[in-house]
């Protein structure tokens, strides 16, 4: 059984624009139910640098949940970070995203998330994340292409 999620979509915008939307504008298209704490959420913050934190922000003073850490930072080509949830007892998956230009001036964005085999109920976790990934990539595409 493949415990990895891999999806590729084409977005009608240049890689720089798609990368910017993923990193700097995620709160415009990433919404409920995809948070650890639906009551306290104030937004997501991805610090744009190698070693940067990916945080689910719960208050204006910087409190929240550390989702992961940026392990690869090559804008606007590639981004990778670890990903965890509160209920995962410190286990993380790895997300890698590539933004490649195509001949039409669009971006082929490839999203890979792996490491689900380390989780209890790994098949259910992977399947749930696969459905969520599909929805969120659709939201990102609609957001960027709407302009």
Q: What is the DSSP string of 3-32?
A: --EEEEEEESS-HHHHHHHHHHSGGGT--T
The mean of the pLDDT values for the chain is 93
**What does the pLDDT average to over 42-59?**
94
Where does the pLDDT of residue 121 fall: very low under 50, low under 70, confident under 90, or very high at 90 and above?
confident
The domain covering 5-146 belongs, at the CATH homologous superfamily level, to START domain (3.30.530.20)
- Count CB atoms within 10 A of the CB of residue 33: 7
Domain boundaries, the chain: 5-146
Say if pTM beats, i.e. exceeds, 0.75: yes
């Amino acid at each position: 059984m493949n415990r990895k999620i891999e999806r590729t979509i084409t977005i009608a915008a240049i890689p720089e624009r798609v990368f910017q939307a993923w990193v700097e504008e995620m709160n415009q298209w990433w919404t409920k139910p995809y948070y650890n704490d639906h009551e306290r959420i104030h937004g997501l913050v991805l610090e744009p640098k190698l070693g940067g934190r990916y945080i689910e922000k719960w208050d204006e003073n910087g409190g929240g949940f550390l989702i992961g850490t940026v392990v690869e930072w090559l804008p606007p080509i590639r981004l990778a970070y670890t990903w965890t949830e509160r209920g995962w007892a410190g286990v993380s998956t790895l997300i890698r995203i590539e933004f490649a230009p195509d001949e039409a001036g669009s971006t082929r964005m490839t999203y890979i998330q792996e490491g689900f085999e380390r989780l209890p109920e790994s098949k259910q976790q992977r399947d749930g994340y696969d459905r969520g990934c599909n929805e969120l990539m659709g939201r990102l595409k609609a957001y960027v292409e709407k302009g």
